[in-house]
Structure formats: C-alpha cells, structure tokens
Amino acid sequence: MAQQAYMTETDGGGSGPERPVSPFRRLVDRLGRGWRGDRRVWRRGLVLAACAALLALVMLGHSHIPNRIGNLGSLTETFLPWLGLFIPLLLVLALVRRSATALIATILPAAVWLNLFGGLLSDKNVPGGDLTVVTHNVNADNPDPARTARDVAAAGADVLALEELKASKVPAYESALAPAYKHHAVVGTVGLWSKYPLTDVKAVDIRLGWKRAMRATVSSPAGQVAVYVAHLPSVRVKMEAGFTARQRDKSADALGEAIAGEPLPNVVLLGDLNGTMNDRALNAVTSQMRSTQGAVGSGFGFSWPASFPMARIDQILVRGAEPESSWTLPATASDHLPVAARVTLTTPSD
C-alpha cells in the first residue's frame, strides 16, 4: 500500500486519527522554521522597510508634493490609486528576504491606501433618482459617430453631454440622436442633448480662445437644473517638462468661477476634465461640487483610455442634487468610456 505523500497531524497528545495538513499550513510552518531563532529577521530588509514607509508617506502627504517642478504633485495625484500595486510587491519581497521588519512596515502603506480608497471597493449604488445623465468624450477622429451616438443613447439617459465634437461630424450625431432627444444645443466642440426643454443656453468662457464649455437650464419634471458641459485642455507627460497642465489649470479656475456664480440650486457638471478628483489643480471645481463616483458607484470608475482604463478623467459632478448611482458604460469607437449617473434633484427647503 502506497504511503501518503503529505504530512499529517494528530488530535492532542499524539493520539487519535491523523489528519492531512493543508498546503498553506505547510508553507507557514516552513517559513516559521526558517525564521525561528534567526535574529537577522529584524536586521534584514531595512531598505524595503524604508521603501514601504516612503510609499505610505507619498500617499498620505500627496497634497504636499510641490507642483513647481513638472507638476509632479498633480501627476502623482492623477495615478494615486495605482501606487497600491507596490504594496503586494513589497510584501512578496519581504517574504523572500525573510525580513520581519519589512513585513511589518508593509502594513503602513496598506493602511493608508485602504483609508484613501477602501470605500470605493464597495457598491454604494441605490435605486431611485429623478434624472439619468451621461457624458462622453466621443473623440474628434471617431470613425463611426452615428454608431457611437446610438450606443450611448441606448443607456436611456435623460440628459446626454458629448465632448470633442468635430464640426463636420455634428450632423451625424444630431441625426442619430434625434429620435430619442427632442432638444439639443451645440456650442463649439461640446453639445447637450435632452429629453426635456433647454433654455438659457450659452457658452462658458474657460479662457481658451475657442468654445469648449457651455451651460443650459434643463426643465425636467422634477424641477430645473443647471447643466454645465466642459472639455478642459489636455495634459501631457513630457520628459523635458514633466506633467504639462498650465492651460488645463487656468481653464479649471475659470470653470470654477462660472459655477460659483450659478443661481440655480441644482447644478450638474458633465465633461472631460482631463484630471481626477485627487488632482489639486481642479480644486476650483471640486471644492464646491461632489463627484457621483466618489459619493456612490462601485469601484474606481476609470474612463480613460478605453482599451485599458487607468484614470477617471471623465466626470459627473453635482451641487445641490443628490447622487444615487454611478457607473461606466460599454466602450464605443472613442478612446474614452462613457460615464453615467442618476441623481435626485432637491429644493432649497430640503
């Protein structure tokens, strides 16, 4: 009769039936035997421990990283959630190095990351809401604007904002969206389609010299809401200049000023802000509005690039209105994913 190829253990005192030991238990025992009695486990891995502490410090104090050199602070904040990938790497290296010091130090960045982003891992969407809104950067070079329009319209949004509209392709979007949306307005390279009447449509000056932002009043059955659509300037990462975002930052300040002067109590901002909610450069906007993805939603809601989303730069922000749910839509022919949210409108007495 063949012998068993795995370890066994007995119930107390060496008597009783033998039970197989799990592979995980064998691994823990092997590590314990390798570390027990070895005083070097505390002296090894000091560099790894220092790296773990530095990682925790960067995530905890990201707002203090200066922007004077290549907008390093904004670059860090744009991809801040991805710093969490270094945590399992440090953990594995600590185990390989057999360093108790590095292993314990890894707890620091893990705790900071969970404090910053742990709340995004749960599903906070709830049913209800008065208005479904969608925003999508359709890409000026979109090869099939009509299909993109139909794909986005399939989400059933009450209000739909499109950015990066090329003048020659606007008729294709208008034709494809006409059956679902009776009301629409296009200002420069941004447009707004609505199932409800639009009034007070006007361009919003974001200090670019051309029109990439607009404002309109949507008269929905639940009340009036001021809807802003914006496409802030792009940012670039250049070896010689770092994270170039000066024009984006100026436009964000101008957009924030316009929204601050908005008299209606319910305000929704839809658009490609070319920045995340962690980016301090958008503070003029984010300090007075709530992100639907941060308040509700499930996960990070990354929207760009569509092929492998790494950042949430397409935003739905609200003031006055209460977010109920937030989600991303399937990819279209654009390099961005559409994002959607459902909100409840409030009255001044609420």
pLDDT > 70 in the chain, percent: 86
Same domain, yes or no, for 146 and 213?
A: yes
> What would the DSSP string read from start to end of 208-245?
SSS--EEEEEEEETTEEEEEEEEEPPP-EEETTTEEE-
The long-range contacts involving 30-34, CB below 8 angstroms and separated by at least 24 positions, are 31/95, 31/98, 34/98
Token pair, residue 45, equals 């891995």
Q: How do residues 240-251 score in pLDDT, each as one tens digit? A: 444 567 899 999
Of 121 and 23, more confident: 121
Q: Would you say residue 137 lies in a domain?
A: yes
Domain boundary among the residues 121, 144, 178 is at 121
- Report the pLDDT value the prediction gives residue 43, as an integer from 0 to 100: 81
**Residues 151 and 43 occupy one common structural domain:** no
Residues 221 and 116 in one domain: no
The reply to whether 22 falls in a domain is no
Assess whether 328 and 261 both reside in one domain: yes
* Statement to judge: residues 212 and 102 lie in one domain: no
- CA-nearest of 138, 155, 172 to 337 is 138
| Same domain, residue pair 282 and 207 | yes
**Which stretch of 2-6, 135-139, 210-214, 285-289 has the lowest confidence by average pLDDT?**
2-6
**Residue numbers of the domain that contains 89:** 38-121
Q: How far is CA 17 from CA 10, 20, 98, 120, in A?
A: 6, 10, 34, 47
Same structural domain, 296 and 155: yes
The whole-number pLDDT of residue 16 equals 54
User: Both 176 and 66 in a single domain?
Assistant: no
Q: How far is it, in rounded angstroms, from Cα 311 to Cα 272?
A: 12
Indicate whether 187 and 327 sit together in one domain: yes
**What CATH number is attached to the domain comprising 332?**
3.60.10.10
| Structural domain ending residue among the three candidates 51, 86, 121 | 121
Work out the pLDDT band at 30, boundaries 50, 70, 90: low
Token pair recorded at residue 89? 């790497």
Q: Are residues 295 and 191 in the same domain?
A: yes
Q: What is the pLDDT of residue 135?
A: 98
Grade residue 347 by pLDDT with cuts at 50, 70 and 90: confident
pLDDT band of residue 41 (cuts 50, 70, 90) is confident
- Could you tell me if 169 and 232 lie in one domain? yes
Examine residue 276 and state whether it is found in any structural domain, yes or no. Answer: yes
How far is 333 from 322, CA to CA, in rounded Å?
31
pLDDT of 35 reads 56
Determine the Cα–Cα distance for residues 233 and 251; give it in Å rounded to an integer: 7
Q: What is the pTM of this model?
A: 0.85
Q: Tell me which of 121, 147, 182 is where a domain ends.
A: 121
Domain for residue 117, yes or no?
yes
150 and 275 part of one domain: yes
Cis ω before 305 (30° cut-off from 0):
yes
